[in-house]
């Protein structure tokens, strides 16, 4: 639990805080009885330092499992001091990815926390053990895997230094020296041949990295037999400082820049033969209403519905993160530092304070610096997406009779699943409507993505066109930034080259009449959107 469970000490057991394998069996059966699938989180770039494999590995250089992990003697600097093998910075904090082990007198590699040593995927014995474990879960009834940072599993030969992009720090982001390397594909092809081809298993990879759609399409192009799809992170940096890295917040982000990123991926990835994993929120990201729309009480529900329209009209397979369908927002701004439980948040604050100490910055200047850091964290921290699910308005929002791992959001009395299930005007009810609409209009799944008005900083407009059937839909979304008190925007669809003669409104989050057409500019109030059917589809004979 050094990283909320992403440091696994036993791949074939359940942590007692969550139950037992027998409980898992009951969950599997209950899920399957309902026609659903149960996908497990596969974390095999690294294990816990409490795993039996690592305990054996660190015993001595002669240990039979020594090369199950990545060990290195380090090097000597100009002052004759022992230093890590390179300047790679850990994903968490500002320290080295290398940890000195006094007992066996070498460094071991950990791209994340020091409690998360990286497995050595170049060792066939490691791959054998991982593949055997995967078969064990699939044979037990798991339906597939979400593969944590699976494109981290190959490292650059010789562990060269990373380029310096953050001069104030000693250690630098390792980038593609440990991400998206060619050998990752070799390992995934072997995984398919030795495990996945024998099962009807669903597999999605979590794949950070800065390369373009052509690079990431390789993972999901069907003939390559690797994965079904991957989560990329390119759109998640839109409101971040430092070029999209880290947890710095850029309050002046521009919608047109986010549109360009999305347009690129939703156009190019399908052309390259890849399939998109379509998500807005997850356990590593803050809430999208706070980031992209408006969380004020009078506009929050409409904003949640607008985001549902956005996500359900983008390409690929939809992933809805817990409480996203309830219109959840970031934690309250007033929460103090002690409410932030995520190790990344804790280490970030500690790292910034260490920087101030190294730089000799004190007093008011230091206080103002840390206030800015904490302001950014309130906007970007992973904690924002990790507050417990709000089931009802009882104690702890009905989530637990015990003590939750972090504080329940203050708004649970008003915003909870129980109240929204019975409210046909709720965000949750709108999500159900949008998902049904997507099943009904297959162009929203299989159609090409055709962006419109790309430079406009107020709207997001595009066409979904399924040439196979002729079905065509027009999506118009008002994402003009502000508190919702501004004037409506007017979208001159005809000037965008769209034939709207037969347009029929099929869904909106305002009071527009379903079935109505387009006659002149379309006016959208703040945080409103509409989807029109431009052309009916006909299945070929």
Which residue among the candidates 101, 122, 148, 261 is catalytic per the annotation? Answer: 148
Half-sphere exposure of 420 (CA within 13 A, CB side): 25
Q: Phi/psi at 505 (nearest 5 deg)?
A: -70, 130
> What Å distances lie between residue 166 and 20, 87, 265, 366, 394, CA to CA?
45, 12, 28, 20, 47
Half-sphere exposure of 459 (CA within 13 A, CB side): 24
Token pair listed for 345? 């948040």
By CB neighbour count within 10 A (0-12 exposed, 13-18 middle, 19+ buried), where does 202 fall? middle
Which residue among the candidates 3, 106, 115, 206 is catalytic per the annotation? Answer: 206
What span, in angstroms and rounded, lies between the C-alpha atoms of 427 and 308?
9
What span, in angstroms and rounded, lies between the C-alpha atoms of 216 and 272?
9
Placement of tokens 């992990």 in the chain: 69
Element (H, E) at 464: strand 459-466
Are 473 and 444 in contact by the 8 Å Cβ rule? The answer is yes
Report helix angle 124-140 to 182-194, nearest 10: 50
Strands across the sheet containing 229-231? 40-42, 144-147, 202-206, 229-231
> What Å distances lie between residue 18 and 33, 169, 395, CA to CA?
22, 39, 20
Distance of alpha carbon 370 from the chain centroid: 27
The set of long-range contacts for 85-88, using a CB threshold of 8 Å and a minimum separation of 24, is: 85/159, 86/159, 86/160, 86/161, 86/162, 87/161, 87/162, 87/164, 87/170, 87/171, 87/172, 88/159, 88/161, 88/162, 88/171, 88/172, 88/173, 88/174, 88/177, 88/178
- Plot region of 141 (φ>0 → left; ψ -120 to 50 → alpha; else → beta): left
What span, in angstroms and rounded, lies between the C-alpha atoms of 533 and 516?
10
Q: Phi/psi at 194 (nearest 5 deg)?
A: -95, -15
Active site residue 257: no
User: Closest by alpha carbon to 452, among 444, 464, 443, 460?
Assistant: 460
Active site residue 157: no
Catalytic residue numbers read 148, 206
């Amino acid at each position: 639990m050094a990283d909320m469970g992403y440091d696994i000490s036993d791949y074939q057991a359940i942590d007692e805080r969550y139950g037992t394998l027998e409980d898992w069996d009951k969950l599997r059966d209950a899920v399957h009885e309902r026609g659903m699938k149960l996908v497990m989180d596969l974390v095999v770039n690294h294990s816990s330092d409490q795993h039996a494999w690592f305990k054996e590995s660190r015993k001595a250089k002669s240990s039979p499992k020594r090369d199950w992990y990545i060990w290195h003697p380090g090097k000597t600097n100009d002052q004759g001091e022992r230093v890590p093998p390179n300047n790679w910075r850990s994903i968490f904090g500002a320290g080295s990815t290398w940890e000195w082990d006094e007992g066996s007198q070498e460094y071991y590699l950990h791209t994340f926390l020091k409690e998360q040593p990286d497995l050595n995927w170049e060792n066939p014995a490691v791959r054998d053990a991982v593949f055997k474990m995967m078969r064990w879960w699939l044979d037990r009834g798991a339906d597939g895997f979400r593969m944590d940072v699976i494109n981290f599993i190959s490292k650059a030969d010789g562990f060269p230094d990373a380029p310096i992009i953050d001069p104030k720090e000693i250690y630098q982001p390792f980038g593609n020296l440990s991400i998206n390397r060619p050998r990752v594909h070799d390992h995934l092809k072997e995984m398919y041949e030795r495990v996945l081809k024998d099962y009807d298993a669903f597999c999605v990879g979590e794949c950070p990295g800065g390369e373009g759609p052509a690079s990431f399409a390789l993972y999901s192009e069907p003939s390559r037999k690797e994965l079904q799809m991957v989560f990329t992170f390119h759109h998640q940096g839109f409101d971040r400082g430092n070029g999209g890295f880290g947890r710095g917040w850029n309050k002046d982000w521009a919608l047109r820049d986010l549109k360009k990123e999305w347009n690129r991926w939703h156009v190019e990835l399908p052309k390259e033969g890849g399939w998109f994993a379509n998500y807005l929120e997850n356990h590593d990201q803050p809430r999208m209403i706070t980031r992209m729309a408006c969380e004020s009480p009078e506009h929050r529900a409409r904003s949640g519905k607008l985001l549902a329209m956005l996500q359900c009209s983008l390409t690929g397979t939809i992933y809805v993160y817990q409480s996203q369908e309830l219109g959840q927002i970031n934690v309250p701004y007033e929460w103090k530092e002690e409410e932030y439980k995520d190790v990344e948040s804790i280490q970030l604050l500690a790292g910034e304070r260490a920087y101030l100490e190294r730089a000799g910055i004190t007093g008011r200047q230091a206080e103002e610096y840390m206030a800015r850091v904490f302001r950014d964290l309130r906007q970007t921290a992973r904690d924002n997406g990790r507050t417990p699910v709000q089931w009802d308005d009882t104690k702890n929002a009905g989530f637990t009779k015990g003590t939750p791992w972090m504080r329940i959001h203050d708004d649970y009395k008003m915003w909870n699943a129980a109240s929204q299930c019975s409210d046909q005007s709720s965000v949750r009810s709108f999500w159900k409507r949008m998902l049904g609409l997507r099943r009904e209009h297959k162009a929203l799944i299989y159609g090409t993505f055709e962006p419109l008005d790309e430079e406009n900083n107020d709207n997001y407009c595009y066409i979904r066109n399924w040439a196979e059937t002729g079905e065509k839909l027009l999506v118009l979304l008002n994402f003009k930034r502000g508190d919702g008190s501004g004037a409506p925007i007017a979208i001159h669809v005809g000037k965008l080259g769209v034939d709207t003669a037969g347009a029929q409104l099929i869904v909106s989050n305002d009071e527009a009449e379903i079935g109505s057409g387009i006659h002149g500019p379309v006016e959208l109030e703040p945080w409103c959107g509409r989807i029109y059917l431009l052309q009916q589809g006909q299945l070929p004979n």
